[in-house]
Each structure stands twice: as C-alpha cells, then as structure tokens.
Chain A
Amino acid sequence: MTPTKTTQLGRIRFSLWILVAAAVLALGGAYFVRTIGVREPPPVTVGEADVRSEFSLTDHNGNHVTEADFLGRWQLVFFGFTHCPDICPTTLAFMANVLDRFGDEVERVAPIFITVDPTRDTPEVMAEYVQAFHPKLVGLTGSEAEVAAAAQSFRVYYERMEEETAPDGYLMAHSGHIYLMTTEGRFEDVFREGEQSAADMAADILARMNGKQ
C-alpha cells in the first residue's frame, strides 16, 4: 500500500463519514421537526374534484341553456330559492358586491343563481329576482329532474323541509357555498358569504383569473 493510496482511502472514508453524518442530521432534523410539531401547511386539495358544471336548464329569459353557454368565463354559482328570507338574499347581495369590484373584468365572469325550488321559481320570478341584485346575474330554473341533475353535478345538497307555518307549507334547506368554476367548467374553489370581505374575494378570484390564463 503506497502512502498515496492510504491518503485516497482516508479521503473516501472521510467522505463516507460526512455522508453518514449528513444523513443522521437530516433524519434527526426531520424527526425533530415532526416530534415538536413544527406547523406543516394544511393539506391542500388539488386535482379534479368531483364537482362539475353540467346542467340543462332554463334561464330567466326563458332560453334553454347548458354549461356550454358559459364556457370561456369563470362561473360563480350559488344554489338557493326566492322564498328564502335570509341566506339567499344575503349571499346574492354579497355576490353582487364582489362583481362590482371586478370592474371591466366582470365580462370574464358568469354569475349564476340556480333555484332548488323550481315549482315556485319560474323564469318570470327568477327574472325579477336576479335583476334586483345585479344586471349580470343569470337565474336558472327547470324541471324538478333538471334541477336535481344540476345540483348533483355540483355535489350540492338540498332538501324540502315541511314547515306548516311557512308559505305553501315548506322551506328548502340547501348548502350555502358559492362555487368558483374555471373557464372550462371545472371546480376551482368554494367561498361562503361572511368568511371574507367582498374585496378580498374579488382580489382572490382576479389573481386566479390572471394567473391561469
């Protein structure tokens, strides 16, 4: 064994020890981080959620429409009913407030209100109702089956609750989320009135519109 070889071996041995030490430090560090519970970012849901914008309904002008009529625009979709005294007007007014903050960019958005009470919410009723909130707001209704299919594609839950003191003896319970769908009608996110300001929600959506197009 020549002195040169010994030195080389020594170097290799030294390098290996460095690697071992680095590995120990890395593993120990990871273990340490996990054990003391350094805050990890919350789980992020990515990929295609099983929420799709697919429907065959009638708009408030009496025209038959499907999701294809809204492709190319970011959809803001809310399900409710016009006999709803509190959550629906509150949420639609909030949506209108968000729309007003888009400025000219509002043309890139399709705000949609789909009734879960099609028996009472005819296109005529929807027309008067949506126009009171925002000129861009589109009201959609249809047969019981068409509405059920639309709600199913958005994974929106609703039910009829018998309540003898209510008008016509019933109320509708429904999920209160506003769905943001991409220009291709794919799920992007959900928002709820009261969980952020209209300004913040508009800024959030604008950032996505500009970042993804």
Chain B
Amino acid sequence: MKILIATLVAVWAIASPAQAEESVRVFNAWARASVLASRPGAAYLTIKSASDDTLIGASTPVAERVMIHAIEKDGDVSRMKHIETLELLAGERITLAPGGMHLMLMALQDKLREGTTFPMTLSFEAAGEITVEVSVLGIAAEGPRETAE
C-alpha cells in the first residue's frame, strides 16, 4: 500500500507540472495565402484548454491588428461579428475554420505567401501568452488535415 501511494504521489508530481504547461494547446494554425496585401487575411486554428480559460487577444508581426471574428448567419445572409474574447470550456476543442470563426489579420505588412510561416501570439486570461507558427497554405486550401492530438 505504501508503495502504491508513493507511486501515485510520484506520478502526480511528474504529471502535474506537465499538465500546467499544457493547459492550453493550440494546433493546426494556418492562414490562407492572400491575393492583395491591401486586403485583410484570415488565420485559423484549433484550441483546447484543460481548464476553463478565455482567449483575450492575438497579435502577429505581419499585421497591425488581429481581430477575432465570428460569423452570424441570419437566414441567407452571413455577417461577420467582431468578438472581444473567446470563452474556452475545459476539455472542449474550438476550431476556427473557413466559413466560421476566424482571426482577421488587418493591415498586413505584405501578402501572405503560400509556403511561408509567421508567428502569432495568443493571449489567454489564465494560461498567459502562447506563440504558435502559422503556416500559409494555398488560396484554395480548406485547412490542414486534422492531425491527431
């Protein structure tokens, strides 16, 4: 029994710091290659948080500003809606994808060119800042194939 408890404590001790680091995971970050540098770009990604958290902002050196957009469908009409923060529920995956939620990249420094990557920093209320590398895919891309978590 003592051995079992010791083992559990040891496992817990090893597992918990790792869990804390991994509380928010951001993956499959990608952007669509842009046609004109003067037009906004869009980036997409998947976020999963182990505990409740909130995405409070995003930034990237390639654009002046990043806005979180949701799409509101009103019958046939789609309206983009600027949302300030995005709530993350523990264990629930949120995927930003074409035709739905996206990060709008405003005032791009240059066209987003296929095959390149750029860094983007996401700020979370609890988890702090996480920087991911965003892959620029072709103009017709629908997204990277789902990768196993």
Q: Does B36 belong to the interface (CB within 8 Å)? A: yes
Least Cβ distance of A196 to chain B in Å?
13
CA distance A82 to B105 in the complex (A): 14
A85-B99 contact, Cβ under 8 Å, with A161-B79, A167-B40 = no
**A86–B80 contact, CB under 8 A?**
yes
A85-B40 contact, Cβ under 8 Å, with A90-B99, A193-B99 = yes
**CB closest chain-B residue, reference A176:** B78
Residue A96 contacts which of B42, B67, B100, B140 (CB distance < 8 angstroms)?
B140
How many residues in A have their beta carbons less than 8 Å from beta carbons of B? 31
Least Cβ distance of B75 to chain A in Å?
8
Q: Does A202 belong to the interface (CB within 8 Å)? A: no
Q: Does B21 belong to the interface (CB within 8 Å)? A: no
Contacts of A8 in B (CB 8 A): none
**B77–A93 contact, CB under 8 A?**
no
**A128–B36 contact, CB under 8 A?**
yes
**CB closest chain-A residue, reference B33:** A132
**CB closest chain-A residue, reference B103:** A85
Q: Does B93 belong to the interface (CB within 8 Å)? A: no
Interface of chain A residues 163 through 186 with chain B (CB within 8 A)? 163, 165-167, 171, 173-177
Contacts of A165 in B (CB 8 A): 65, 67, 82, 106
Residue A173 contacts which of B41, B79, B99, B102 (CB distance < 8 angstroms)?
B79
Q: Does A83 belong to the interface (CB within 8 Å)? A: yes
CA distance A175 to B73 in the complex (A): 9
**A86–B99 contact, CB under 8 A?**
yes
Contacts of B107 in A (CB 8 A): 167
**A87–B78 contact, CB under 8 A?**
yes
CA distance A83 to B65 in the complex (A): 15
21 contacts between A and B (CB under 8 A): A82-B36, A82-B39, A83-B39, A85-B80, A85-B104, A86-B100, A87-B71, A87-B80, A90-B142, A93-B140, A94-B140, A129-B39, A132-B139, A133-B35, A157-B77, A161-B79, A165-B82, A171-B80, A173-B79, A174-B78, A175-B78
- Since A90-B98, A93-B141 are in contact, a sample of 20 more A-B pairs with Cβ atoms closer than 8 Å, ordered by chain A residue number, is A85-B40, A85-B104, A86-B69, A86-B71, A86-B80, A86-B104, A87-B78, A87-B80, A89-B32, A94-B140, A128-B36, A133-B140, A157-B76, A157-B77, A167-B107, A173-B77, A173-B78, A174-B78, A175-B77, A176-B78
